[in-house]
């Protein structure tokens, strides 16, 4: 178990004017389990990268000192292990056991010791498969457990977890938290914005101040009693702060789109539903039930292999419409906003849709300015969409769909991974759109979203489809 000492620590990335993290004094004793909080941009991830020894001396400017057991983290890399958000970009090898062995090979562990250590690490995270299991066949939660095992195999005294459940569905996040909760041999620092779920794993909370320094430090009860309001305002999901429901006052208006027995081979079992103007329909269900596929079908992006979608009085189903026609009727918002960006400026991004619909330049300018204003993006009009924060990118992706004024909006996990502030903004915006007569379909795992704004819920069957990933076989080569 390691001890961490920071004295006036700061870091400024090369080429940036502002310090990513600054004036941090912190002492973490052997075996402590710390939740590191702060509004987005407070430098939590930078601090973890510094502790993991990943900030190369020539990649920025440092201030103060940072030590793990009295050593510079860059010189004591084996002391710290770090797990990141996305399991897909942490797994290196095709077979699970090989992946855990990868770090041990890098450290020059004698071959005879490697496999016992691999089994030990896999046992500690509760990995249920043999070591030959293909890493491509793992679910998100299982893959993240494997990534954790790969780090634990190196027996670090300090375990750093940078939002390890942010990319996972609730079931996967539970798997990972269960594994982390069972660990006892490390000092641990966890960054996580779903605070309520993370609290059972920690015994101390440290809040970073965005301008620099530590705002609060103590037991969870102490910190949230003193700073709960302020943290909640800044977007931290402080436990106990609920949001009043925003349900529709009126009954649903005329039907916009109806799906009859639509199915997509191996991705979506037959389902029938309809959505009307002025209602929010939440589509829920476990992973692999085909929720995202259904969103693509309703959005007119994917052709169903069976059944029929019709709407807007058109004889043709939505997937046969021209793209410009489609965007004037149905707007789709993808789970990953970056998939939808096609220009290098935020304002241009909003102008794409209206231009394609043949709006005049004056009209386009009016639509763009109006949306920038409504979604608090005015200051970012000239910014590159790829440089936006998670919350800003999400707002922009919703705005791009609204630019063509579609009556129906289809959103895939709109609130996924958002901080509390963006979450409230989004939910309020969707409620307003609904009250203005838009129909809204949201595919979601988020219970709070369903409780707060959904007028109707359509659960997709739990009956798993026959092998949803037929091309990914478990590897059979020991």
| Residue ranges binding another protein (CB under 8 A) | 52, 54, 77-78, 81-82, 84, 86, 88-95, 98, 101-111, 114-115, 118, 135-136, 147, 150-151, 154, 296, 299, 301-302, 322-324, 326-327, 331-332, 334, 336, 338-342, 352-353, 356-357, 386, 400-401, 404, 471-473, 475, 477
- Give the shortest CB-232-to-another protein separation in angstroms: 30
Closest to another protein by CB, 70 or 110: 110
Nearer to another protein by Cβ, of 185 and 338: the residue is 338
Q: How far is the CB of 149 from another protein (least distance, A)?
A: 11
3-state secondary structure the chain: CCCEEEEEEEEEECCCCCCCEEEEEEEECCCCEEEEECCCCCCHHHHHHHHCCCCCHHHEEEEEEEEECCECCCCCHHHEEEECCCHHHCCCCCEHHHHHHHHHHHCCCCHHHHHHHHHHHHHHCCCCCCCCCEHHHCCHHHHHHHHHHHHHCCCCCEEEEECCCCCCCHHHHHHHHHHHHCCCCCEEEEECCCHHHHHHHCCEEEEECCCCCEEEEECHHHHHHHHHHHHHHCCCCCCCCCCCCCCCCCCCCCEEEEEEEEEECCCEEEEEEEEECCCEEEEECCCCCCHHHHHHHHCCCCCCCEEEEEECCCCCCHHHCCHHHHHHHEEEECCCHHHHCCCCCHHHHHHHHHHHCCCCHHHHHHHHHHHHHHCCCHHHCCCCHHHCCHHHHHHHHHHHHHCCCCCEEEEECCCCCCCHHHHHHHHHHHHHHHHCCCEEEEECCCHHHHHHHCCEEEECCCCCCCCCCCCCCCCCCC
In angstroms, give the least distance from the CB of 302 to another protein: 7
What is the closest distance, in whole angstroms, from the C-beta atom of residue 338 to another protein in the complex? 7
Minimal distance in Å, beta carbon 154 to another protein?
7
Q: How far is the CB of 73 from another protein (least distance, A)?
A: 11
CB of 416 to another protein, least distance (A): 15
Least distance between another protein and beta carbon 155 (Å): 12
Nearest CB to another protein, comparing residues 176 and 216: 176
Looking at beta carbons only, is 232 or 295 nearer to another protein? 295
Residue placing its CB nearer to another protein in the complex, 262 or 352: 352
Q: 274 vs 340, which CB is nearer to another protein? A: 340
Between 136 and 429, name the residue whose CB sits nearer to another protein: 136
Nearer to another protein, 111 or 313 (CB): 111
């Amino acid at each position: 178990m390691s001890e961490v000492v920071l004295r006036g620590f700061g870091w400024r990335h090369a080429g940036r004017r502002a310090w990513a993290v600054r004036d941090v004094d912190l002492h973490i004793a052997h075996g402590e389990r710390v939740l590191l909080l702060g509004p987005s941009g407070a430098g939590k991830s930078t601090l973890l990268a510094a502790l993991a020894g990943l900030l190369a001396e020539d990649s920025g400017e440092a201030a103060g000192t940072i030590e793990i057991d009295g050593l510079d983290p860059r010189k004591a890399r084996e002391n710290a292990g770090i797990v990141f958000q996305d399991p897909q970009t942490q797994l290196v090898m095709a077979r699970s056991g090989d992946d855990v062995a990868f770090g041990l090979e890098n450290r020059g562990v004698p071959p005879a010791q490697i496999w016992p250590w691999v089994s030990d690490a896999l046992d500690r995270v509760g990995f249920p498969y043999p070591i030959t299991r293909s890493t491509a066949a793992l679910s998100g939660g299982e893959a993240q457990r494997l990534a954790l095992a790969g780090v634990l195999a190196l027996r670090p005294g300090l375990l750093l977890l940078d939002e390890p459940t942010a990319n996972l569905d609730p079931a996967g996040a539970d798997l990972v938290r269960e594994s982390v909760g069972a660990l006892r041999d490390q000092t641990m620092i966890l960054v996580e914005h779903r605070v309520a779920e993370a609290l059972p794993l920690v015994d101390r909370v440290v809040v970073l101040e965005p301008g620099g320094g530590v705002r609060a430090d103590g037991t969870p009860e102490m910190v949230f009693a003193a700073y709960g309001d302020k943290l909640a305002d800044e977007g931290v999901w402080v436990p106990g702060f609920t949001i009043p429901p925003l349900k529709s006052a009126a009954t649903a208006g005329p039907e916009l789109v109806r799906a009859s027995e639509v199915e997509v081979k191996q991705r979506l079992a037959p389902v029938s539903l309809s959505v009307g103007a002025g209602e929010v329909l939440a589509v829920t269900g476990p992973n692999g039930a085909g929720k995202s596929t259904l969103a693509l079908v309703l959005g007119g992006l994917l052709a169903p292999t069976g059944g029929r979608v019709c709407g807007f009085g058109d004889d043709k189903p939505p997937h046969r419409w021209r793209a410009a026609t489609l965007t004037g009727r149905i707007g789709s918002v993808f789970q990953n906003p970056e998939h939808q960006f096609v220009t290098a400026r935020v304002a241009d991004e909003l102008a794409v849709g209206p231009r394609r619909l043949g709006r005049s330049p004056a009209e386009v300018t009016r639509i763009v300015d109006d949306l920038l204003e409504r979604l608090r993006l005015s200051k970012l009009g000239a910014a590159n969409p790829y440089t936006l924060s998670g919350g800003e990118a999400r707002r922009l992706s919703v705005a791009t769909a609204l630019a063509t004024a579609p009556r129906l909006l289809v959103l895939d996990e709109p609130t996924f991974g958002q901080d509390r502030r963006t979450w409230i903004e989004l939910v309020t915006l969707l409620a307003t759109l609904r009250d203005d007569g838009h129909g809204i379909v949201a595919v979601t795992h988020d219970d709070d979203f369903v409780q707060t704004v959904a007028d109707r819920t359509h659960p997709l069957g739990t009956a798993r489809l026959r092998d949803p990933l037929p091309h990914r076989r478990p590897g059979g080569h020991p």
